[in-house]
């Protein structure tokens, strides 16, 4: 399998359209599993885990033909996705301040952002 390493975080949609998003961190190695004619690729991510995982068994059914794959959708973080997320989880003044501080945005950067906003 060919490998790629992400240069930015990616959004992972929750299973079965549960409207939640999760974040795959930057620097994650993805292994290309399969390319589809519809224009998307499937990747594998390997995870280590210690301890018990709360779970339920997935029964193997004849229609799976011995192979059951249930992939989630992953996408780049773009402004439309962020708007959708922030509608569900609005940010407080403190949240915005913490995000700005954690990303080392300068006062000049912040002033540029404020100037770019519509009146």
Model pLDDT, residue 89? 74
Model pLDDT, residue 42? 95
Residue 49 lies in a domain: yes
Please state the pTM of the whole predicted model: 0.66
Residue 59 lies in a domain: yes
Residue 99 lies in a domain: no
**Cα–Cα distance for residue pair 35/37, rounded to 1 Å:** 7
Model pLDDT, residue 64? 78
The domain of 85 spans 3-90
Residue 119 lies in a domain: no
Domain count, the chain: 1
- CA angle 25–13–17, rounded 5-degree value: 165
Residue 20 lies in a domain: yes
Those residues of the chain that have pLDDT short of 70 are: none
Residues ≥6 apart with Cβ < 8 Å to 36:
42
């Amino acid at each position: 399998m060919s490998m790629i390493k992400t240069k930015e975080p990616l959004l992972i949609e929750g299973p079965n359209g549960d409207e939640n998003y999760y974040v795959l961190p930057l620097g994650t190695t993805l292994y290309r599993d399969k390319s589809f004619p519809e224009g998307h690729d499937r990747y594998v991510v390997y995870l280590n885990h210690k301890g018990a995982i709360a779970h339920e068994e997935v029964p193997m059914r004849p229609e799976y033909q011995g192979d059951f794959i249930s992939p989630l959708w992953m996408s780049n973080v773009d402004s439309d996705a962020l708007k959708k997320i922030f509608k569900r989880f609005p940010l407080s003044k403190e949240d915005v301040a913490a995000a700005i501080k954690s990303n080392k945005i300068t006062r000049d950067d912040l002033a540029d952002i404020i100037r770019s906003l519509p009146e």
